[in-house]
Amino acid sequence: MNDGIMDPMKTIIKKVDPNQIDEKVILEAGNILKQGGLVAFPTETVYGLGANALDEEAAKKTYAAKGRPSDNPLIVHIADMQALEEIAVNIPPETEELAFHFWPGPLTMIFEKSGQVPYGTTGGLDTVAVRMPSDVIARELILAAGGFVSAPSANTSGRPSPTTAQHVQEDLDGKIEMILDGGSVDIGLESTILDMTVTPPMILRPGAVTVDMLEKVIGPVSVDETILGSESDQAPKAPGMKYRHYAPKAKLTIVEGTLREEVLAIRQLAYAAFREGKKIGIIATNETEIFYTHGLVKNIGSRENDKTIARNLYAVLREFDEEDVSEIYSESFAVQGIGNAIMNRLEKAAGHVRIFAAPIVKQQKYRRIIFLSNTDTSRGPMAAGLLKHQDLNQEYTIDSRGLVVLFPEPANQKAEAIMKSGQMTLEGHSSIALSADDLQEDTLILTMEDSQKWKVVSEYENIKNVYTLNEFTEDNTEIPNPYGQPLTAYGECYEIITKLIEKLTNKLNTFTQGGE
The contact set with ligand AMP (CB under 6 A) reads 72-75, 110, 122, 125, 127-129, 152-153, 190, 193, 204-205, 238-241
CB 39 within 8 A of CB 31: no
**Least spacing, CB of residue 330 vs ligand AMP, in Å:** 22
**Least spacing, CB of residue 179 vs ligand AMP, in Å:** 17
Task: Report the candidate in 381, 24, 348 with the shortest Cα–Cα distance to residue 190.
Answer: 348
CA dist 229 and 354 (Å) reads 12
Q: Contact region for Mg ion (CB under 5 A) — 151-159, 196-204, 224-232, 378-386?
A: 151-159
- Per DSSP, helices labelled H in 322-397 are 339-349, 357-362, 379-388
**Least spacing, CB of residue 153 vs Mg ion, in Å:** 3
For ligand AMP, the closer of residues 244 and 388 by Cβ is 244
**Least spacing, CB of residue 152 vs ligand AMP, in Å:** 3
CA dist 301 and 470 (Å) reads 47
CA dist 387 and 398 (Å) reads 8
For Mg ion, the closer of residues 151 and 392 by Cβ is 151
**Least spacing, CB of residue 176 vs Mg ion, in Å:** 15
Task: Report the candidate in 210, 170, 404, 168 with the shortest Cα–Cα distance to residue 306.
Answer: 210
Cβ atoms within 10 Å, residue 423:
7
**Least spacing, CB of residue 280 vs ligand AMP, in Å:** 29
**Least spacing, CB of residue 73 vs ligand AMP, in Å:** 3
For Mg ion, the closer of residues 153 and 400 by Cβ is 153
CA dist 245 and 317 (Å) reads 11
Q: Which does 185 bind (CB under 5 to 8 A by kind): Mg ion, ligand AMP, none?
A: none
For Mg ion, the closer of residues 248 and 402 by Cβ is 248
* Interior angle at CA 166, CA 163 and CA 169, nearest 5: 110
For Mg ion, the closer of residues 153 and 332 by Cβ is 153
**Least spacing, CB of residue 65 vs ligand AMP, in Å:** 13
CA dist 375 and 184 (Å) reads 57
Q: Which does 400 bind (CB under 5 to 8 A by kind): Mg ion, ligand AMP, none?
A: none
Name the pairing type of β-strands 327-330 and 251-256.
Answer: parallel
- DSSP, collapsed to helix, strand or coil, labels residue 199 as coil
Q: Which does 432 bind (CB under 5 to 8 A by kind): ligand AMP, Mg ion, none?
A: none
**Contacts for 88 with CB less than 8 Å, ≥ 6 apart:** 111, 112, 113, 114, 128, 130
For ligand AMP, the closer of residues 207 and 257 by Cβ is 207
**Contacts for 94 with CB less than 8 Å, ≥ 6 apart:** 196, 201, 217, 218
Cβ atoms within 10 Å, residue 475:
15
Q: Which does 122 bind (CB under 5 to 8 A by kind): Mg ion, ligand AMP, none?
A: ligand AMP
Sheet strand arrangement including 280-284: 296-299, 280-284, 327-330, 251-256, 354-356
For Mg ion, the closer of residues 153 and 364 by Cβ is 153
For ligand AMP, the closer of residues 127 and 134 by Cβ is 127
For Mg ion, the closer of residues 75 and 508 by Cβ is 75
Task: Report the candidate in 145, 124, 123, 142 with the shortest Cα–Cα distance to residue 133.
Answer: 142
Q: Which does 75 bind (CB under 5 to 8 A by kind): ligand AMP, Mg ion, none?
A: ligand AMP
Q: Is 153 in the site for Mg ion (CB under 5 A)?
A: yes
**Least spacing, CB of residue 431 vs Mg ion, in Å:** 59
Q: Which residue is nearest to ligand AMP (CB)?
A: 240
**Least spacing, CB of residue 110 vs ligand AMP, in Å:** 5
- Per DSSP, helices labelled H in 125-242 are 136-144, 165-172, 211-218
Residues 94-133: x/- map of binding to Mg ion (CB under 5 A)?
----------------------------------------
First to last CA, the chain: 70
Helices (H) and strands (E) in the chain, counts: 17, 21
For Mg ion, the closer of residues 101 and 249 by Cβ is 249
For ligand AMP, the closer of residues 157 and 332 by Cβ is 157
**Least spacing, CB of residue 46 vs Mg ion, in Å:** 8
Chain residues binding Mg ion by CB under 5 A are 153
